[in-house]
Amino acid sequence: MEKTLNNKAWFLVLPVLILVAFSAVVPLMTVVNYSVQDTFGNNVFYWVGLEWFADMLQSDRMWNALGRQALFSAIILAIEVPLGIFVALNMPKKGFWSSFVLVTMALPLLIPFNVVGTIWQIFGRVDIGLLGYVLAKLGVDYNYTADAFDAWATLIVMDVWHWTSLVALLAFAGLQSIPEAYYQAAKIDQASRWAVFRYIELPKMQGVLLIAILLRFMDSFMIYTEPFVLTGGGPGNATTFLSIDLVKMAIGQFDLGPAAAFSLMYFLVILLISWVFYTVMITVEKAEGK
């Protein structure tokens, strides 16, 4: 006897689909429209085809911003993922202190992005900031508004402070899912601490670590508010990442056509890399299930 499929449940998600279409698809189509046209004002548009895309692909400005963005994301992932794993491995597993540490580590994640930028903007100032004052007393010539290296170092430390706890919490969740029998068997076999991590803990954390890497990549590759508040993209263009450069182009210079083409290529890069991460995640899950 064949079962009759009930598709009435789709009506429950219909309002969400309409909302997504209104808030995401319609603005995206507007950007696509601007990316293939030019305007001189008065709502008069001229068809230019793929001209803006060709200009952006030949623009040193975009490639330089992309290089800075990729370098920042690579540094962030190289620091936060190992550090988050290390913190998770050393967190209390049970009891009051476990709950206390979990809540404490979640606090930076609750702070809005613009507040994080403001905190570190004040923290790093030589005249009133604790970090800047201490470094000045130690004889370190530190000025994140004038020196490119100092600006990068401050941004990286700020992001590590803000987001490492996310990686640590996800890694801790993966560790908590490991049955105690695995550790007992390793103890009987007299396995070293490195062997336990390599063959028991790390394989069990692969799924959550891939999620952490995906989330941190997307966040770091789209970062805008924190560097904008802290350095404004300076000194010079040292911290002008893709998002900041895009806003300058669209709002500061009002180059809507190039900015629209720029934003679409930016979106496609993030979508492509996220798809690669997602494919790897699915492959790992299937391998673990076998």
- Helix 113-123 to helix 148-176 angle (10° resolution) is 130
Q: Dump pLDDT digits (tens) for 121-145.
A: 999 988 888 998 899 889 899 999 8
Q: Per-residue confidence at 47, pLDDT binned at 50, 70, 90?
A: confident
Segment holding 39, helix H or strand E: strand 37-39
Q: Dump pLDDT digits (tens) for 196-214.
A: 999 889 888 888 888 898 8
Residues 195 and 244: their CA atoms lie apart, in Å, by 44
Residues 219 and 231: their CA atoms lie apart, in Å, by 18
Running DSSP on this structure, what letter comes out for residue 45? E
The domains located in the chain, with CATH, are: 52-289 (1.10.3720.10)
Residues 56 and 99: their CA atoms lie apart, in Å, by 50
Burial 160-172 (b: 16+ CB within 10 A, else e): bebbbbbbbbbbb
Concatenated DSSP letters of 117-157: HHHHHHHT-TTT-HHHHHHHHTT----TTT-HHHHHHHHHH
Look-up of token digits 């049970």: 94
For residue 31, what pLDDT is reported?
87
Q: Dump pLDDT digits (tens) for 9-45.
A: 777 888 888 887 778 788 888 888 888 988 776 777 8
For residue 67, what pLDDT is reported?
93
For residue 4, what pLDDT is reported?
61
Q: Dump pLDDT digits (tens) for 244-283.
A: 999 888 888 888 889 999 999 998 988 888 888 888 878 8
Measuring CA to CA, which residue among 180, 217, 214 is closest to residue 284?
Answer: 214
Q: Dump pLDDT digits (tens) for 55-98.
A: 988 989 889 999 999 999 999 999 999 999 999 999 988 888 88
Q: Dump pLDDT digits (tens) for 228-250.
A: 999 988 898 899 999 999 988 88
For residue 255, what pLDDT is reported?
84
